Amino acid sequence: MSFLEIKQVVAGYGPAVALHGVSLSMEKGQRVSLLGANGAGKSSIVNVVSGLLPVRSGEVWFQGERIDGWAAHRIVGLGVSQVPEGRLVFPKMTVWENLELGATTLKDTVQKSRILEQVFDLFPRLSERRKQMAGTMSGGEQQMLAVGRSLMSQPKLILSDEISMGLAPLVVRDIYDTLLHINQELGVTLLMVEQEAKLALEVADTCHLLESGRIVASGPADEMAKSELVRKVYLAED
């Protein structure tokens, strides 16, 4: 069985169906992007995996365990961490306190300290601002904090949702460079939702294209970038 496997998942919000029998699989160490317009179902897939959106039918498997129906905190304990859309840091808590909250599943204080220093090595700016209230930081710094917080649970899989939203291109590139380092050097698998199609194709090795809650195309990112549909609709090329 694959590292992550989603099988014929149907899910939605209230009476609205967001995912119509979606299936996809990932292997350990992969970088997978979900591409599509707003409302296509990208974030819904991430929320299904993290336990934030209940599955109406179908199955979700992670490392050989079926996890659909599990509480979100239990899924975090298994090694799945999410960087949510809009960052969602706790504005009236310090950088340090936000990071500490990310480590609630860890009981070993030595391990927590080691991971915290690892986060500060990846994001030196967070170390400099460890006593600063998160709400007073820039959008880019808050996104660094959201990524750092996701690392505090020592994840095997990171789910990132619209990291580029509202940020300057150079900041976005720096954050994605760090994510790629986390993938390549730490072995963390990445499932990424990204509205910027060109960026989504650059940072991934595999891409799935969604329309109206269904996967309509999948393949290696470099091949997807050459497809007529992606070039015309998502990359705005003639």
Answer yes or no: is pLDDT of 231 > 90: no
Record the pTM.
Answer: 0.91
Rg (C-alpha) for the chain, rounded Å, is: 17
Domain boundaries, the chain: 4-234
Q: What's the chain's average pLDDT?
A: 91
104 band by pLDDT with thresholds 50, 70 and 90: confident
Q: What is the pLDDT, as a whole number, of residue 61?
A: 98
Distance CA 122, CA 157 (A): 18
Q: What is the CATH number of domain 4-234?
A: 3.40.50.300
How far is residue 173 CA from its own chain's centroid?
16
The mean pLDDT of 68-83, rounded to a whole number, is 94
> How much is the pLDDT for 228?
79
Long-range contacts at 100-108 (CB < 8 A, ≥ 24 apart): 100/152, 101/149, 101/152, 102/148, 102/149, 102/150, 102/151, 102/152, 102/153, 103/152, 103/153, 104/73, 104/153, 105/73, 105/76, 105/77, 105/153, 106/152, 106/153, 106/154
What is the pLDDT at residue 50?
A: 96
